[in-house]
Amino acid sequence: MLHAAAKQTSFAMDEHENIFASGFAEVDKHVSFLTAFEDEDMGAEHSFLGPECSRDIASTHLGLGTFDLPKCFSIDNISCAFDDDEMTVDNVAATVVAGEQTKTELFGEALEPKGEKILHEDKCCQPAAGQHFMDSEYMDDASNIICFPSEDSHLQGTLALQSELMLLDGRACSTAAATESTSCQNSVSLDHMTVRELQDAFHSMFGRETAVIDKQWLKRRILFGLHNNNELDRPLNLTCCGSISQEKEDKSTVASGTESSENAFNSPKWMLDGGFKMDEKMKGSSSDSQTNYSSGASESDVSFHGKDENEVGGLVTGKRVHKPPRRYIEESSEFKSRSHLRRSSVSVKSPKNKVVDAKIHKQCEEEVNETAGSGNQIGSFDGACIQVPFGLPVEEGQAKGNTLCLRQDSDICPKTEHATIPSEISDLPCPSAKSQTVVKDERVIRSNMQKGRRRRKHHMPWTLTEVMKLIEGVSHLGVGRWSKIKRLLFSSSKHRTSVDLKDKWRNLVKASCTQLRKKRKGLQVRKQLSHQAPESVLCRVKELASSCA
């Protein structure tokens, strides 16, 4: 028999179509909260369950622990199909553990007959300003709410259940009573608050504004914040504490990990600080790795990949040896043997023409206009052509063109366009119509690039926001984890690939070095230019870079 009371699930989408979902289930006195982002499946790592739920599950279904509580109802796993456009409650499935039975149901379907009380669901799809988390376009405002969800978001079934239990086991149930009572009190007082007040409370609790006007929603959030504050004020940084089994043994003295000096990545307490550790048993049952996003530099103390053996503290060590690219072998030999006119204008760089090349590059890297940019232009150009792919006859540039032709006449790279880009790609919350068009434009360019006549993509200056994002990503995930950083922080920035991140980081490091050198020499560091990263930022880069050297 269920003790079920109510369940409410909220979904919201911010204006950038980042899906934010939270499930909030109140089952009698047991509280469960789940949250997931974007295309993640909602997994156990996103969930908080009321301690008593876990106890029950533990004792009843997994034989973990020796609790003997009355059977209760819980949601042990929720997986969502988080397709951006079809986010509905209907595609959220919950596995309900009730008594001896375990069954999976859809929220969209009738759950109510299962319990004495009605399981209620609600759905809100309002664009709420406060609901962007990962990869937020609002990084500046939301810098304090970024969190790193567990990399493996697809735990399912028993594993997920176990995970939950392990997650919760450590935090024990001792806080339950206190939490419940305070929650009740708070609940009552929250009832009397106006929406505005609730929003304020929300703001002070989570450090961000919300546009949600649903009192219930706000109330739940706030309550839950209180709930978790209560629980997590205890040293429960799961990402930093030792193995779960250790926690089991000593629930009261969980060693909290070193707090990062950064504030930026401290997630709000009601969100998990990151993944949680699996113990040996779980490792065995999962082929995927759980990355431990502990704050601070010692990020990857959990590494299940063999390749991670090369890494020390999340930092990639050792250099990869590079054979001279075939292109160059060929190029140089070709250059010697054939004094092809065409070849001679390809930038095989001597120090002298390097300057010229750079100049041209700078002038016109933006864009080659369509009509002039066709494949056979290479033969007839009057400028320079760079980066001819290896082994590709230049005449065939059309077929597989990574060919880029640059023309001297710089008027084909409109200054205006260049000028507008920085603000347009900015991550700042100003989604102007302009921005839309450029983003679209970029996509067009990209797609054009797909089908043959590949062009260099627009030069997209990095914004400070992006740089900050990158730095934070590096600081938390380590240098070299570009794809991970991309996934977690830049997944909505279509124009930034993981390679771009890598390149940018390299440039930042370079910049930080030169800056430092200049400073040491006592040279006047050039006045801060708009496109340059601020000194403090470069210092941070330097710091991180040197910490991995």
Partner DNA sequence: ATTAGGG
Partner DNA sequence: CCCTAAT
- Percentages helix, strand, coil for the chain, rounded to the nearest 5? 45, 10, 45
Smallest separation, CB 328 to DNA (Å): 7
- Residue of the chain from 323, 336, 352, 451 that contacts DNA (CB under 7 A): 323
- Residue of the chain from 320, 352, 451, 527 that contacts DNA (CB under 7 A): 320
Smallest separation, CB 42 to DNA (Å): 21
| Residue 387 engages DNA in binding (rule: CB under 7 A) | yes
Site for DNA, residues 403 to 432, rule: CB under 7 A: 403-404
Q: What backbone phi and psi angles, to 5 degrees, belong to 507?
A: -65, -40
What token pair was written down for 473?
């990503």
Smallest separation, CB 275 to DNA (Å): 17
| Residue 304 engages DNA in binding (rule: CB under 7 A) | no
Smallest separation, CB 531 to DNA (Å): 12
- Residue of the chain from 192, 196, 322, 526 that contacts DNA (CB under 7 A): 322
| Residue 460 engages DNA in binding (rule: CB under 7 A) | yes
In whole angstroms, what is the distance from residue 408 CA to residue 354 CA? 15
Smallest separation, CB 149 to DNA (Å): 16
Give yes or no for a contact between 56 and 75, defined as CB atoms under 8 angstroms apart: no
Nearer to DNA, 59 or 303 (CB): 303
In whole angstroms, what is the distance from residue 178 CA to residue 227 CA? 9
Give yes or no for a contact between 134 and 37, defined as CB atoms under 8 angstroms apart: yes
Q: Which is nearest to 544 in space by CA: 489, 505, 514, 516? A: 505
Q: Which stretch binds DNA (CB under 7 A): 140-148, 213-221, 284-292, 456-464?
A: 456-464
Smallest separation, CB 324 to DNA (Å): 7
Q: Which stretch binds DNA (CB under 7 A): 73-81, 181-189, 200-208, 450-458?
A: 450-458
- Residue of the chain from 480, 488, 512, 533 that contacts DNA (CB under 7 A): 480
| Residue 521 engages DNA in binding (rule: CB under 7 A) | no
In whole angstroms, what is the distance from residue 47 CA to residue 25 CA? 11
| Residue 118 engages DNA in binding (rule: CB under 7 A) | no
In whole angstroms, what is the distance from residue 538 CA to residue 508 CA? 7
Give yes or no for a contact between 544 and 471, defined as CB atoms under 8 angstroms apart: yes
Nearer to DNA, 1 or 399 (CB): 399
- Residue of the chain from 30, 171, 454, 476 that contacts DNA (CB under 7 A): 454
| Residue 547 engages DNA in binding (rule: CB under 7 A) | no
Which helix or strand (DSSP H or E) is residue 386 part of?
strand 384-386
In whole angstroms, what is the distance from residue 519 CA to residue 526 CA? 10
Smallest separation, CB 454 to DNA (Å): 7
Smallest separation, CB 500 to DNA (Å): 5
Q: Which is nearest to 226 in space by CA: 186, 195, 176? A: 186
| Residue 531 engages DNA in binding (rule: CB under 7 A) | no
| Residue 39 engages DNA in binding (rule: CB under 7 A) | no
In whole angstroms, what is the distance from residue 192 CA to residue 23 CA? 24
Half-sphere exposure of 301 (CA within 13 A, CB side): 17
| Residue 483 engages DNA in binding (rule: CB under 7 A) | yes
Nearer to DNA, 34 or 421 (CB): 421
Fill in the per-residue mask, 496 to 515: x = in contact with DNA (CB under 7 A), - = not in contact.
Answer: --xxx-xx--xx--------
Q: Which is nearest to 61 in space by CA: 50, 51, 71? A: 71
| Residue 334 engages DNA in binding (rule: CB under 7 A) | no
Residue 303 neighbours by CB under 8 Å, 6+ apart: 289, 309, 311
Smallest separation, CB 139 to DNA (Å): 18
| Residue 45 engages DNA in binding (rule: CB under 7 A) | no
Using DSSP, state whether 439 is helix, strand or coil.
helix
- The DSSP line for 173-218 is STTHHHHHHHHHHHHHHHHTS-HHHHHHHHHHHHSS------HHHH
Using DSSP, state whether 227 is helix, strand or coil.
helix
| Residue 308 engages DNA in binding (rule: CB under 7 A) | no
| Residue 495 engages DNA in binding (rule: CB under 7 A) | yes
Nearer to DNA, 128 or 509 (CB): 509
Nearer to DNA, 112 or 503 (CB): 503
Rg (CA), the chain: 28
Give yes or no for a contact between 87 and 39, defined as CB atoms under 8 angstroms apart: no
In whole angstroms, what is the distance from residue 386 CA to residue 258 CA? 49
- Residue of the chain from 457, 511, 537, 539 that contacts DNA (CB under 7 A): 457
Q: Under rule CB under 7 A, how many of the chain's residues touch DNA?
A: 39
Alpha helices per DSSP H over 106-152: 139-142
| Residue 316 engages DNA in binding (rule: CB under 7 A) | yes
Q: Which stretch binds DNA (CB under 7 A): 89-97, 238-246, 325-333, 535-543?
A: 325-333
Residues linked to residue 282 through DSSP beta bridges, in sequence order: none
Smallest separation, CB 529 to DNA (Å): 17
Q: What residues make contact with DNA under the rule CB under 7 A?
A: 307, 316, 319-323, 325-328, 349, 387, 389-391, 402-404, 454, 456-460, 479-484, 495, 498-500, 502-503, 506-507
